[in-house]
Amino acid sequence: MRAVVSFSAFRQARRLLALGIGSVSLLSGCSPEAPPANPDTGPKMPEGGLLDYPVDAIGPFRVGYRSFLHTYQPKGVEGSREIRINLWYPTLDEEGTPPKYLNAFPDDDVFEGATVAPPMEAAGYPVHLHSHGYSGFGGTSSDMMHWFASHGWVAIAPDHKGNTLPEHEDTVPLTISFLRSMDLSASLDALEALPAEDPLATKCRTDEVLLSGHSFGGRTAWASGGAVYDLAEIQAMCDEGTRFSEPCTPEQIAVFGDGLGDSRVKAGIPMASGVGDEPGWFGLDGYDAVKKPYMQMSGTLDPVGAENVWARVTSIDFTWLDFEGGCHQLFALGGCKEFDSYEGWKLVNTYAFTFARRHILGDKSDKVQKILDGTEVLSPKVKFQHK
């Protein structure tokens, strides 16, 4: 995680994403077209449904944003836990005030507190849940959240308290590793418990959600998907004495044994995440326990051990996308020296959204099928593998 974040790059990227992959020009000033205006009633709802817009382009909506505090009682720690939940959603508003993530980083292509556009289908808004990286914050992957919300989804990303940018520490307690998954489940609980007067109340399809995660969030995405922990390996990490910022307790280790999976997660996308040659958190055979489709993304300039995860997964529907020249932040803040950020975000968003359309919405269209089986090559820079 870089300490300095340029959201001006995010704003410019969104204006350029309408262009084809590999043909991005910094001279372009194009931005996504607003919904057609009606002089009598204001902007109209986009026609069609959730599957009627291209997976490889920004959707027909503008994007609204809000955040709110949520308190819940996690297992394995004393006292309640309060987290901030960041939420992006479709809007028909054509102007508004940009939010400032962490009260510091403005995002000019998103409108804070915008009105909520009605869902495109009677079933409500599909949901994308995201976990940020070590010492990050919910808004670090706002480009992906923007992409999904522009297509009529609700996207949520909690700030993992105790592991955010303002709280940065070189080491954190063992508890953070299970609290992050509990934050994700609590975020879905919060969506389900919105008060009746909230325009999103009862309209978010939390029964089947997409889960993504960057870096540390990638491990969280495996855990919340149902991966099984190797308790002996966790005990060995604790016994080292330097891995965590405070001593582990038997009660804390027992939480991992209970599992952190959430049945509402139906597909997962871990990004910039992997494991070394050692057994690691999920041992040699704990990944397959998710029993659902996963798409792993990594960069060749970011040796996180994605190849080791690939080798250990044997029984689930598993895809691995390895981006030639991609660095750790290709999937969040951008800024890789050998991979253009605008091109990278478009590729990452297109693959992620196509995966979501197939496994969350059941899209079996020809284009979706070809992207996900590798028949349609979006870029020669992406090595596609599937098993």
| Average pLDDT value for residue range 142-152 | 96
108 pLDDT tier (thresholds 50, 70, 90): confident
Q: Are residues 89 and 149 in contact, defined by beta-carbon separation less than 8 angstroms? A: yes
Q: Rounded mean pLDDT of 161-189?
A: 96
> pLDDT tens digit string along 224-253?
999 999 999 999 999 999 999 999 999 999
- Domains parsed from the chain with CATH numbers: 7-386 (3.40.50.1820)
Among residues of the chain, what percentage have pLDDT more than 70?
89
Instruction: Say which amino acid occupies 69.
Output: L
Q: What pLDDT was estimated at residue 41?
A: 61
End-to-end Cα spacing for the chain: 31
Instruction: Categorize the per-residue pLDDT at 105 as very low, low, confident or very high, splitting at 50, 70 and 90.
Output: confident
Supply 317's token pair.
């529907």
Measured distance CA(290)–CA(263) in Å, rounded: 10
pLDDT of residue 106: 85
- Do residues 130 and 213 lie in contact, with contact meaning Cβ atoms separated by under 8 Å? yes
Q: Whole-model pTM?
A: 0.90
**How many Cβ atoms are within 10 Å of 386's Cβ, its own excluded?**
12
Examine the pLDDT at 22 and tell me if it is beyond 70: no
Q: Which residues of 356-366 are buried (b: 16+ CB within 10 A; e: fewer)?
A: bbbbbbebeee
Q: Which strand ranges, in their side-by-side order, compose the sheet holding 382-386?
A: 111-112, 62-72, 81-91, 154-159, 125-131, 204-214, 265-271, 294-299, 318-323, 382-386
Structure tokens at 70: 């949520």
Tokens of 300: 């060749």
Instruction: Say if CB 373 and CB 285 are below 8 A apart.
Output: no
The tokens 């995010």 sit on which residue?
10
Pull the structure tokens for residue 21.
Answer: 């992959």
Give the integer Cα–Cα distance in Å for 184 and 298: 22
Query: 160 vs 64, 146, 193, 235, 250, CA distance in Å?
Result: 22, 20, 20, 23, 23
Average of pLDDT values for 1-9? 37
pLDDT digits (tens, 9 = 90+) for 310-338: 999 999 999 999 999 999 999 998 999 99
Model confidence at 4, pLDDT cuts 50, 70, 90, reads: very low
> How confident is the prediction for the chain on average, in pLDDT?
90
Parallel/antiparallel/unpaired status of strands 125-131 and 204-214: parallel
